[in-house]
């Protein structure tokens, strides 16, 4: 059962196989959750969105003929996230960290971040990156999508655009995380 | 932006940031969240399974209904003894106005004479060949007689077979010769009364048609 593709498992679930859903859920449980957690303002927001994404997948279960399930699920997550931010006028910023401070590559992380370990620092800096860059980074690292898949998903059309956004994100994070590397 | 362009290109894979990021991947959704989602999936799956139940059972009921109706409308076979039903069918054909049909030219398949199934065994024919000429001359008519009897038997079976099906009534109805053969067969097989009734019916339909001698005695 483990070697069955996501698409096949989802197809089986569409025919009423609950076990197939459990498997596919287990495969994307963490990555989807982390993608939303790193993209959202608070854990509560992330959990709400997480539930909403799965509900959407469950209730509108229709087997698709082409494309990957992975791209499908993260596309739903991204769309719901954007809708929510538009609706609530939320800014993609960390609760405690001022985005402008962290975004400036010339400055070191502020005093608040000194006490945190490197992992925590990275999480906070990630949230503080420009949305386009953090999104590409997360879609690559969490969803494991290819640059082409990301380009299609975020409708930039070109693989090169995605590549350059990812490169900027990495460069920015590297500067911010210098003391940890 | 121009400063960034001058810098050496950042590799996209095996970047230390990516390695560090992997160490941050520890959070998981709560067990309660998992439970709610799996419960929803389970409910939806059972709803999805039930969704097939109604169309499937409806299709089965319709299929059964159609099959039963077809069975009632056109029973495939009558009992071999029911020549009376055959007559009834002919009556109903007449009442329904299909009596015109015989006047039209309906192409009837020529009665097929089955090849006699009885054959001499290989060794007996060899004996005939080896036998004297006189004996062979005696054996020839005997052989022909056996074939004749065999043909008659086959024809008799065909006629009886013809009478079994209600749909054959129209065929018989439209062919007086065939009808007479069926009647003759009925009488020969001991169903004299039914044969007489059929003969009376035949006379009504074809008053001028000459009857064979062996049936004249059964005319009422």
Q: Which residues of B touch A30 (CB under 8 A)?
A: 25, 27-29
A11 in Cβ contact with A25 (< 8 Å): no
Nearest by CB to B38, from A25, A33, A174: name it: A25
How close A118 gets to chain B, by Cα (Å)?
A: 8
User: Inter-chain contact A171–B10, Cβ cutoff 8 Å?
Assistant: yes
- Closest B-chain CA to A62: B48
Tokens representing A92?
A: 């993609």
Q: State which H helix or E strand residue B57 sits in.
A: helix B31-73
Interface A:B, Cβ pairs < 8 A: 96
Top pLDDT among A41 and B140 is at: A41
Q: Assign residue B64 a region: left if phi > 0, alpha if psi is -120 to 50, beta otherwise?
A: alpha
pLDDT in tens, A71-87: 999 999 999 998 888 87
B109 in Cβ contact with B172 (< 8 Å): no
Establish if B38 touches chain A: CB-CB under 8 angstroms: yes
pLDDT in tens, A97-121: 433 334 444 445 454 455 468 888 8
pLDDT for the residue numbered A35: 93
How close B61 gets to chain A, by Cα (Å)?
A: 23
Nearest by CB to A29, from B23, B25, B29: name it: B29
Establish if A22 touches chain B: CB-CB under 8 angstroms: yes
Top pLDDT among B152 and A11 is at: A11
- Band the pLDDT of A54: cuts 50, 70, 90: very high
List the helix and strand counts (H, then E) for chain A: 10, 0
How is residue B131 annotated by DSSP?
S
Residue B49 has pLDDT above 80, yes or no: no
pLDDT for the residue numbered B13: 65
pLDDT for the residue numbered B95: 60
pLDDT in tens, B83-139: 555 555 555 556 655 444 444 444 444 444 444 444 444 444 444 444 445 555 555
pLDDT for the residue numbered B120: 43
Residue-by-residue DSSP string for A16-81: T-HHHHHHHHHHHHHHHHHHHHHHSSSHHHHHHHHHHHHHHHHHT----SSS-HHHHHHHHHHHHH
Of A112, A102, A115, A116, nearest to A173 by C-alpha is A102
What count of residues does chain B have?
Answer: 220
How close B173 gets to chain A, by Cα (Å)?
A: 58
């Amino acid at each position: 059962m483990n070697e069955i593709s996501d698409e096949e498992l989802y197809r089986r679930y569409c025919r009423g196989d609950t076990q197939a859903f459990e498997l596919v859920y287990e495969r994307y449980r963490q990555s989807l959750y982390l993608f939303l957690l790193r993209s959202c303002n608070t854990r509560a927001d992330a959990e709400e969105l997480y539930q909403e994404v799965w509900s959407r997948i469950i209730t509108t279960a229709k087997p698709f003929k082409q494309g990957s399930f992975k791209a499908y699920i993260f596309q739903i997550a991204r769309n719901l996230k954007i809708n929510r931010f538009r609706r609530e006028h939320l800014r993609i910023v960390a609760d405690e960290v001022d985005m402008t401070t962290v975004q400036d590559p010339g400055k070191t992380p502020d005093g608040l971040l000194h006490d945190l370990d490197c992992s925590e620092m990275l999480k906070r800096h990630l949230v503080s990156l420009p949305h386009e860059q953090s999104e590409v980074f997360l879609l690559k690292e969490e969803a494991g999508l290819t640059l082409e898949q990301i380009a299609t998903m975020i409708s930039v059309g070109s693989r090169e655009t995605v590549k350059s956004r990812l490169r900027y994100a990495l460069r920015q994070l590297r500067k911010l995380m210098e003391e940890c590397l | 932006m121009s400063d960034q362009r001058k810098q050496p290109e950042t590799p996209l894979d095996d970047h230390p940031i990516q390695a560090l990021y992997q160490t941050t991947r520890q959070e998981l959704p709560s067990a309660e969240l998992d439970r709610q989602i799996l419960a929803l999936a389970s409910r939806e799956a059972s709803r999805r399974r039930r969704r097939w139940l109604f169309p499937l059972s409806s299709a089965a009921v319709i299929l059964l209904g159609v099959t039963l109706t077809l069975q009632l409308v056109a029973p495939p076979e009558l009992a071999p003894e029911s020549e009376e039903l055959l007559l009834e069918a002919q009556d109903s054909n007449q009442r329904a106005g299909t009596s015109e049909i015989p006047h039209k030219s309906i192409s009837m398949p020529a009665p097929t004479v089955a090849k006699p199934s009885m054959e001499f065994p290989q060794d007996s024919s060899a004996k005939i060949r080896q036998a004297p000429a006189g004996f062979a001359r005696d054996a020839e008519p005997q052989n022909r007689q056996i074939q004749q009897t065999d043909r008659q038997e086959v024809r008799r079976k065909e006629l009886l077979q013809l009478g079994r099906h209600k749909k054959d009534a129209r065929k018989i109805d439209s062919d007086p010769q065939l009808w007479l053969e069926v009647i003759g067969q009925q009488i020969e097989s001991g169903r004299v009364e039914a044969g007489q009734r059929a003969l009376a019916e035949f006379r009504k339909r074809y008053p001028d048609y000459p009857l064979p001698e062996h049936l004249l005695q059964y005319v009422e």
